[in-house]
Amino acid sequence: MNAPVRRLSFLVGLLFASLLVSTTLIQYVFAADLNARPDNRRTLLATYARERGEILVGQTPVARSVPTEDEFKFQREYPDGPLYSHVTGFYSFYGAVGGLEQSEDPLLSGSSDKLFYRRVSDLFTGRRAQGATIETTLDPAVQQAAEQGLGQARGAVVALDPKTGAVLAMVSHPDFNPNRLAGHDLATVDENYRKLTEEPDRPLVNRAIGGDLYPPGSVFKVVVAAAALSDGEYTEDSVLPGPAALDLPLTSATLPNHDDVPCSPTGEVTLKQAMVVSCNPAFGDLGMKIGADALREQAAKFGFGDSPSVPMRVTPSSVPAELDAPQLAQSSIGQYDVRVTPMQMAMVAAGVANRGTVMSPYLVQSVIGSDLSVIESADPTELTQAVSPRVADELTDMLVATVDEGTGTKAQIPGVRVAGKTGTAEHGEGRRAHAWFISYAPADDPQIAVAVIVEDGGVSGSETSGGSVAAPIAKQVMEARLK
């Protein structure tokens, strides 16, 4: 009976060899894959146990990790929760979601390769690994003003420093309280998250850079005027038709002016006058004359079609690819299928303000390691030259006149030359129009460029209503910076 026992012992060897192989596969070959699984609670706990870096506005943290007694070691806190909710995003059991928490996660968590040297030295010194701190470009006063300006309204405000592209304010309403999603009680967090996702107004969507995008309405006329002035055949004194309604080719429809009145008693207006009173027929006509290609090109020069990272990804704004003449006329007053983010319109304002040069928008001023050394520092870069300085000056002239004596008078700031443009964007029959305002100030040495949209804030067909709702908010925001 000894031979079978020997074979049996060989079989035992094989059985155990298979176990050694399976163990090796799990603990060595596929270990990294298993550890990277999103539902891996051990990995989650390990990340929680590391002190995550802060997000600063000025010198004040708007997101920070405080030690706790529970198994997660640290609790993420957002001292000014709702105010900065769309800037910070939130850090929860779902991982880092939205805002800087998500887009700067590798740095905040300390796993970024940029922190490699520090990680190695932590290993030897036994210091506990710590994430880097993100210092934002936001100006708390400007952010606060934007928040108060919007009040309970849905909408968004973006403010940029035209000379650098630094984001001074980014507010999207409705907002949410990230603290309610950062708790350590999974059931509560789940419930809060479910409530937020089910709300019809979608508070988790950052409307300033994403979401469904908006029709720009008359603020898009700045882009049309820029295209016309750049093509060399037009000046601010070029004469355009300004009837109560413009006949459109190929169709029986017309392009009516707001309030159904002619733009001037004579039925003709200069380009500058058309901007000041936001004359729809004149811009419809102008758009058809310069053509869809020129319009699209000009839009692209302002950044349309791009998807910059601020470092959150900005949804690209767009001008439709195929446009017949009536659609082109509609597009020229920012209707039809032109879709923009408030960030894009702030970039248009900032580009004109900065004498034609659009700077890349950015939200992170610097990244500071746990030992207070600067790991990264923002380096303002030119995105495009949208228009020549001459054209930019002409546009500024027209936009200052718009605030001084046109539709944008509600944005006037005593002692400061303010340039601005109103918009009232219709978005569907029987619904109140979106109220828009883009502006910058001071016109000769711009410190701030702003885009404001108040959803359903205007009255359809009445241009002044857009100005009266959105312009005061822009004014408040600019004042906060200029003080």
Partner 1 sequence: MSIVSSVAPRSGRTTELILLLGAVGIVGLAYVNLGLATTGSIPPGFAALGLGYLGVALAFHVVLRWKARYADPLLLPIVTLLNGLGLVMIHRIDIARGRDITDGVALRQLMWSALAVAIATAVLFVVRDHRILRRYTWIAGAAGFVLLLLPLMPVIGNSEFGSRIWIRLGPLSFQPGEVAKLLLAVFFAGYLVQTRDALSVAGRKILGLTLPRARDLGPILIAWLASLGVLVFERDLGSSLLFFGLFVAMLYVATERVSWIAIGLTLFVAGAYLAYLMFGHVQTRVLLWLHTFSPDALETSDQLAKGLMGMAAGGMVGTGLGRGRPDLTYLAESDFIIPSFGEELGMIGLFAILVLYVLLVERGLRTSLGTRDGFGKLLAAGLSFSLALQCFVVVGGVTRVIPLTGLTAPFLSSGGSSLLANWTLVAILLRISDHARRPLPDERQQAAVGEAATQVVKVR
Quick one: which of 23, 121, 235, 377 contacts partner 1 (CB under 8 A)? 23
Q: Which residue lies nearer to partner 1 by CB, 126 or 414?
A: 126
State the chain's maximal CA–CA distance in angstroms. 119
CA dist., res. 272 & res. 407, Å (int): 13
Least distance between partner 1 and beta carbon 26 (Å)? 5
DSSP secondary structure, 13-65, as one string: HHHHHHHHHHHHIIIIISHHHHHT-TT-HHHHHHHHTSBPPPEEETTEEEEEE
Q: Are strands 55-57 and 133-136 parallel, antiparallel or unpaired?
A: parallel
Ranges assigned E (strand) in 137-250 = 155-160, 167-173, 239-241, 245-247
Active-site annotation holds for 360: no
Determine the Cα–Cα distance for residues 416 and 446; give it in Å rounded to an integer: 10
68 is an interface residue for partner 1 by CB under 8 A: no
Examine residue 373 and tell whether it contacts partner 1 (CB under 8 A).
no
**Residue 95 in the binding site for partner 1 (CB under 8 A):** no
Binding of partner 1 at residue 26 (CB under 8 A)? yes
- Quick one: which segment of 9-17, 124-132, 299-307, 311-319 binds partner 1 (CB under 8 A)? 9-17
- Where would I find the H helices in 333-430? 342-353, 389-405
Number of residues that bind partner 1 (CB under 8 A): 35
Q: How far apart are the first and last CA of the chain?
A: 100
Instruction: Please report whether residue 253 would count as binding partner 1 according to CB under 8 A.
Output: no
For position 188 contacting partner 1 by CB under 8 A, the verdict is no
Q: Quick one: 3 or 187, whose CB is closer to partner 1?
A: 3
State how far Cα 474 lies from the chain centre. Answer: 16
Tell me how far, at minimum, the Cβ of 93 lies from partner 1, in Å. 14
Measured from the CB atom, is 119 or 431 closer to partner 1?
Answer: 119
List Cα–Cα distances, 309 to 209, 211, 283, in angstroms.
10, 15, 32
Question: Is residue 195 within the footprint of partner 1 (CB under 8 A)?
Answer: no
Paired tokens of 267: 């039925």
Q: Which of 22, 251, 307, 381 binds partner 1 (CB under 8 A)?
A: 22
Run of H or E residues at 292:
helix 292-301
Pick 94 or 336: Cβ nearer partner 1:
94
Residue the block writes with tokens 């036994």: 126
Under rule CB under 8 A, residue 186 binds partner 1: no
Q: Token pair for residue 203?
A: 């508070």
Give the nearer residue to partner 1 in terms of CB position, either 7 or 431: 7
Residue 94: CB minimum distance to partner 1, A? 17
Catalytic residue among 218, 331, 439, 468: 218
Which residues in 32-61 contact partner 1 (CB under 8 A)? 32-35, 37, 39-43, 45
- Active-site amino acid positions: 218
Q: Which residues bind partner 1 (CB under 8 A)?
A: 1-6, 8-9, 12-13, 15-16, 18-20, 22-28, 30-35, 37, 39-43, 45
